[in-house]
Amino acid sequence: MAIKCNLSTYMGMNKMNIQDVCDKTGLARNTVAFLYHDKVKAINFGTLDALCKLFKCSVGDLLEYMPDDVEV
């Protein structure tokens, strides 16, 4: 099981870089960078709230559940 973060996709669609997101949300650069590179192990509700407000999307748009391929 894996959770994929789609932040880089949203940033690309909006022509934003990591610093742009930091400036517009007040989030720390490390927080945004870890999410951008999909290297985060946990995320808090405040971070999700700031990103959803910025990109006018839902949590389900930013985070995607990727099930393991299970052979039967």
> Could you name the CATH architecture of 2-66?
Orthogonal Bundle (1.10)
- Residue 67 is predicted with a pLDDT of 85
- Residue 62 is predicted with a pLDDT of 96
pLDDT tens column, 10-46: 999 999 999 999 999 999 999 999 999 999 889 999 9
- Residue 35 is predicted with a pLDDT of 96
pTM of the model: 0.87
Domain extents in the chain: 2-66
Rg over alpha carbons for the chain, rounded to the nearest Å, is 13
Task: Name the more confident of 71 and 56.
Answer: 56
Closest CA to 53 of 18, 5, 10: 10
CA angle 16, 17, 20 (to 5 degrees): 75
